């Protein structure tokens, strides 16, 4: 073994200095360790996972490279960096590159592959780096959620945590089952701030959901500024269930929410519920009432007592103005026209009304979606039905050639109590524990509805009984990841015994994300039982 001869002490010192400096800034990278990708608790469960039983470690030398210099890919890279840096402190930067980066980095690239569709992705992890490929940017964003889940739970913390930051190696190929996978936030019964709504959006994005339905108007409140009918928000937004101060989104704030959702590949579906659930509008404008008298603002929780005046032309001018303004603010394809519980609208008035309103939506370049009662009418081009209560309406929609967004109240209403002890929520449809929320299949739940007839799944959170975001989180978690999995993963890949183990491993992730989740006794939560929960 040749011995290194140093001619004199000066060069020895220089060499020592160089070596010391190099060692100091070389990332502290321990050798790969055996890790099993197949044992990771990914939710939604991916289509295929192949483990190669080693590990990749993120270090201070790790950066995220995106293919080319597309702003959209750089934004996705930055989203991931912003999720990783606060907890790891690794100072991960986002850079453009035209080819795969050097060893030790993460690489996001677009690879045309029709099989992956709009949201599929391929993730390949080796001891030398991570490559994430997708047919489209949305697929990269979905793959980024998987990368998050392959790192230790404390990566989700907003403060510096101890590493090491290792991921198990292997390949994941993944693609969603349903095109629409979402939640609904009722900001009408109780109003929630832009920040709260953004928080809800952030949380559903972590589980690959791509749709947020905002219930913007109801008897108790009108929550979106309409410039041509200003009193809708100014007066109709004044209060809420229980008489609190209410509120509304200005059009600028609504655009901010829409962009925040878009940046997370989430489409906003705005809902203006009609002809029922309209007391707030009827209180704002006397001319919308058949008797020409403005209604009082309403702060209770009854339903089915209000209706627009379906025989007055001014009603359709009102609807046209509202939908025109809302469509201009909504890049997504859908406007939700409500249509539920119109108990004081005669059926012979209701049917022409919903038919005409669908036409107004189409005239503003959007597709209509409505609660399943609108299937009593004639569904126009591109119209879809959201099934919540009446299976005949759902089957009728399919018979008319439409598709159904599945939100069965007895399975998917997140305002239902978990059990009779839950402090918030209702139970008119059912008590929905975490297992009941998971053990169902949208493709077989309604006889006469097959998978091809299902547009997707949406879990509504009605807010009659909650007015704080941590109460919303308590009702939404831990049921939401299950709905996300029902929407993303094939039914054949889903079973409660396997899922509840993976869900238990997400307890520490919920905690790291500051989610006030319900620690259901049906799940073995992988974190200290003494976790204090607000309830």
Residues designated catalytic: 341
Q: Which is nearer to ligand IFG, 321 or 390 (CB)?
A: 390
Is there binding between residue 229 and ligand IFG (CB under 6 A)? no
CA 164/CA 67 separation, integer angstroms: 27
Q: Which is nearer to ligand IFG, 185 or 388 (CB)?
A: 388
Q: Which is nearer to ligand IFG, 387 or 509 (CB)?
A: 387
Number of helical H runs and strand E runs in the chain: 16, 15
Q: Count residues contacting ligand IFG (CB under 6 A)?
A: 9
Q: Provide the minimum distance between the beta carbon of 435 and ligand IFG in the complex, in angstroms, as a whole number.
A: 20
| Residues of span 433-462 touching ligand IFG by CB under 6 A | 462
Q: Provide the minimum distance between the beta carbon of 404 and ligand IFG in the complex, in angstroms, as a whole number.
A: 14
Of positions 248, 334, 384, 413, contacts ligand IFG by CB under 6 A: 413
3-state SS assignment for residue 95: strand
Is there binding between residue 415 and ligand IFG (CB under 6 A)? yes
CA 46/CA 61 separation, integer angstroms: 29
Name 369's bridge partners: 336, 384
Is there binding between residue 391 and ligand IFG (CB under 6 A)? no
Q: Which is nearer to ligand IFG, 47 or 426 (CB)?
A: 426
Of positions 47, 61, 194, 303, contacts ligand IFG by CB under 6 A: 303
Q: Which of 370, 138, 382, 347 is nearest to 261 (CA)?
A: 138
Q: Which is nearer to ligand IFG, 172 or 335 (CB)?
A: 335
Q: Which is nearer to ligand IFG, 429 or 493 (CB)?
A: 429
Q: Provide the minimum distance between the beta carbon of 444 and ligand IFG in the complex, in angstroms, as a whole number.
A: 22
CA atoms within 13 A on the CB side of 120: 19
CA 232/CA 326 separation, integer angstroms: 13
CA 100/CA 67 separation, integer angstroms: 8
> Residue 223, Cβ neighbours under 10 Å: how many?
27
DSSP result, 195-259: HHHHHHHHHHHTTT--EEEEE-B-SS-B-B--TTSTHHHHTTTS--GGG-----B-HHHHHHHHH
Is there binding between residue 471 and ligand IFG (CB under 6 A)? no
| Residues of span 313-342 touching ligand IFG by CB under 6 A | 340-341
Is there binding between residue 477 and ligand IFG (CB under 6 A)? no
Is there binding between residue 430 and ligand IFG (CB under 6 A)? no
Is there binding between residue 426 and ligand IFG (CB under 6 A)? yes
Q: Provide the minimum distance between the beta carbon of 320 and ligand IFG in the complex, in angstroms, as a whole number.
A: 24
CA 37/CA 149 separation, integer angstroms: 11
Count of residues making up the chain = 535
Q: Provide the minimum distance between the beta carbon of 413 and ligand IFG in the complex, in angstroms, as a whole number.
A: 5
Q: Provide the minimum distance between the beta carbon of 120 and ligand IFG in the complex, in angstroms, as a whole number.
A: 32
Strand-pair category, 384-387 with 367-371:
parallel
Which residues of this chain interact with ligand IFG, rule CB under 6 A?
A: 303, 340-341, 371, 388, 413, 415, 426, 462
């Amino acid at each position: 073994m040749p011995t290194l001869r140093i001619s004199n002490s000066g060069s020895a010192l220089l060499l020592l200095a160089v070596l010391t400096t190099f060692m100091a800034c070389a990332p502290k990278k321990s050798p790969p360790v055996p890790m099993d990708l197949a044992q990771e608790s990914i939710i939604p469960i991916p289509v295929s996972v192949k483990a190669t039983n080693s590990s990749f470690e993120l270090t201070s030398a790790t950066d995220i490279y995106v293919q080319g210099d597309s702003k959209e890919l750089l934004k996705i890279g930055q989203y991931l960096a912003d999720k990783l840096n606060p907890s790891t402190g690794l100072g991960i930067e986002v850079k453009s590159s035209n080819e795969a980066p050097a060893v030790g980095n993460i690489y996001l690239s677009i690879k045309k592959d029709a099989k992956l569709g709009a949201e599929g992705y391929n993730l390949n992890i080796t001891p030398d780096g991570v490559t994430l490929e997708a047919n489209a940017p949305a697929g990269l964003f979905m793959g980024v959620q998987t990368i998050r889940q392959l790192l230790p739970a404390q990566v989700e913390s907003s403060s510096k945590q101890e590493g090491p930051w290792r991921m198990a190696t292997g390949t994941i190929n993944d693609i969603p089952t349903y095109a629409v996978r979402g939640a609904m936030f009722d900001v009408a019964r109780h109003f929630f701030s832009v920040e709260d709504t953004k928080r809800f959006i952030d949380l559903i994005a972590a589980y690959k959901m791509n749709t947020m339905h905002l219930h913007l108007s109801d008897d108790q409140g009108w929550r979106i500024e309409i410039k041509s009918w200003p009193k809708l928000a100014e007066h109709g937004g004044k209060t809420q269930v229980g008489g609190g101060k209410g509120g509304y989104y200005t059009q600028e704030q609504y655009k901010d929410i829409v962009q925040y959702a878009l940046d997370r590949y989430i489409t906003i579906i705005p809902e203006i519920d009609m002809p029922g659930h309209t007391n707030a509008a009827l209180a704002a404008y006397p001319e919308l009432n058949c008797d020409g008298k403005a209604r009082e603002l309403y702060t209770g929780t009854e339903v089915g007592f209000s209706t627009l005046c379906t025989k007055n032309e001014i009603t359709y001018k009102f609807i046209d103005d509202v939908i025109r303004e809302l469509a201009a603010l909504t890049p997504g394809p859908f406007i939700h026209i409500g249509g539920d519980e119109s108990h004081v609208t005669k059926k012979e008035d209701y049917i022409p009304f919903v038919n005409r309103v669908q036409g107004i939506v189409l005239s503003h370049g959007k597709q209509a979606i409505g609660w399943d009662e609108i299937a009593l009418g004639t569904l126009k081009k591109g119209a879809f039905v959201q099934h919540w209560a009446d299976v005949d309406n759902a089957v009728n929609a399919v018979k008319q050639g439409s598709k159904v967004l599945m939100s069965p109240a007895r399975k998917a209403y997140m305002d239902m109590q978990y059990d009779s002890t839950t402090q918030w929520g209702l139970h008119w449809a059912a008590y929905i524990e975490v297992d009941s929320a998971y053990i169902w299949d949208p493709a077989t739940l309604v006889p006469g509805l097959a998978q091809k007839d299902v547009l997707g799944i949406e879990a509504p959170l009605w807010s009659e009984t909650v007015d704080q975001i941590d109460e919303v989180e308590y009702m939404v978690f831990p049921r939401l990841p299950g709905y996300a999995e029902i929407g993303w993963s094939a039914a054949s890949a889903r079973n409660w015994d396997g899922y509840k183990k993976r869900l238990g491993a997400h307890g520490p992730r919920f905690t790291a994300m500051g989610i006030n989740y319900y620690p259901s006794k049906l799940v073995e939560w992988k974190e200290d039982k003494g976790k204090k929960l607000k309830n």
